[in-house]
Amino acid sequence: MGARLEVSAVLLDTFGRRAVDLRVSLTDRCNLRCTYCMPEQGLSWLAKPTLLTDEEIVRLVRIAVTRLGVREVRFTGGEPLLRPGLVGIVGACAALDPRPELSLTTNGIGLARTASALREAGLDRINVSLDTLDPETFQQLSRRNRHHEVLAGLDAARTTGLAPIKVNTVLMRGINDHEAPELLAWCLDRGYEQRFIEQMPLDPQHGWDRATMVTAQEILDRLRTRFTLTPEPAERRGSAPAERWLVDGGPARVGVIASVTRPFCRACDRTRLTADGQVRTCLFATEETDLRAALREGDDETTDARIAELWRTAMWGKKAGGGIGDPTFRQPDRPMSAIGG
Ligand code: SAM
Ligand code: SF4
């Protein structure tokens, strides 16, 4: 009986994977327009009444943590720092029992102002996206002149003592790919752990091209022109999407997320929630499960149990992989910024 209860209290799929890592998108809006993520004119944003309120987000996180065995929650977007209630959401999630690990993925704009409030509210870790050290290349990649704000945000995160600080970088051929070794040196100097992410086909303008994307192998080759990289033992990777290498013997490390050329779907432990309350089993899922409608039917034990059941059923149907390599691969309708990267 005990064992049966335990199985029904977690998010399992038919491939035996268990989701313990929840990605919550807090908004689909953004103050940058990274070329690999959004078109210049932006997107048609989700309508306000469809967005979950701060209380609704915390309620869903509570259901995930107390009824479904979720242990880690990462807030993302769009740009999560644009959400006015972010510090309150982090604080309310930090007060949950059991307390989940809390992290944030951000472009860093505005972090200089909020880093210390976020830390005090209970944020454990942060990832800041930085693709270049050159302000002009930043303008070219993000279509905005805000490089200095990202750097100030990173500095503030470090001063506040948030650790580890990870720096996410997408390399684009002919634009910033030559910067890989320089970016890593810059991160090492500051004690940041850098993670290069292969560009994925999740942009609404369908600009992704397998033939021209910068692969993990190329990234490693470029880094090896300046550093000695030693693979970290596979058992230390667990379900982490990044493969990691010790840099010059360690202890500093660099990660590469090879979602396209070396997908890690077999070990995936993620479940995703969009800003409008849809569960997604994968970045590349083409189906979603609506929790918002159920949520708005009532605020009681019975409704929470029903939401947990809907969530479990959704995850049970998770596919084996994202399928980027399949000839029948179809890009999901929702772009990365609206799913939550
Ligand atoms: N706005 C925040 C940021 O940029 O960090 C959070 C959301 S963003 C979608 C999360 C991460 O996804 C960023 O590190 C970004 O570089 C990455 N990303 C966006 N589009 C991508 C794509 N097509 N392929 C790979 N990574 C992508
Ligand atoms: Fe905005 Fe992040 Fe997408 Fe860049 S990657 S446009 S910062 S959501």
Kindly report the protein residue whose alpha carbon is nearest to atom 8 of ligand 2: 78
pLDDT of residue 3: 39
Ligand 1 mutation target, pool 336, 337, 339, most atoms within 8 A of CB: 336
Q: Which atom of ligand 2 is nearest to the CA of 109?
A: 7
pLDDT of residue 8: 66
28 in ligand 1 pocket by Cβ < 6 Å? no
Over residues 5-60, the pLDDT tens digits come to: 445 689 999 999 999 999 999 999 999 999 999 999 999 899 999 999 999 999 99
Over residues 268-291, the pLDDT tens digits come to: 999 999 999 999 999 989 899 999
pLDDT of residue 5: 40
Q: Which atom of ligand 1 is nearest to the CA of 128?
A: 5
What are the residue ranges of helices labelled H in the chain? Answer: 2-8, 54-67, 86-94, 111-121, 135-142, 147-160, 180-190, 216-224, 292-295, 301-316, 336-339
Distance separating alpha carbons of residues 49 and 51, to the nearest angstrom: 6
Distance separating alpha carbons of residues 189 and 181, to the nearest angstrom: 12
Average pLDDT over residues 286-303: 96
- Answer yes or no: are the C-beta atoms of 339 and 332 closer than 8 Å: yes
Q: Which atom of ligand 1 is nearest to the CA of 200?
A: 24
168 in ligand 1 pocket by Cβ < 6 Å? yes
Distance separating alpha carbons of residues 6 and 9, to the nearest angstrom: 5
Position 205, amino acid: Q
Task: For the chain, give the longest Cα–Cα distance.
Answer: 62
User: Ligand 2 centre from 150 Cα, in Å?
Assistant: 12
Task: State the average pLDDT for the chain.
Answer: 93
Note the ligand closest to the C-alpha atom of 332.
1
**Residue 90 class from Cβ within 10 Å (0-12 exposed, 13-18 middle, 19+ buried)?**
buried
pLDDT at residue 212 above 60?
yes
Closest CA to 274 of 49, 50, 21: 50
Percent over 70 (pLDDT), the chain: 96
Kindly report the protein residue whose alpha carbon is nearest to atom 11 of ligand 1: 341
Structural domains of the chain, ranges and CATH numbers in brackets: 7-339 (3.20.20.70)
Distance separating alpha carbons of residues 229 and 220, to the nearest angstrom: 8
Over residues 107-134, the pLDDT tens digits come to: 999 999 999 999 999 999 999 999 999 9
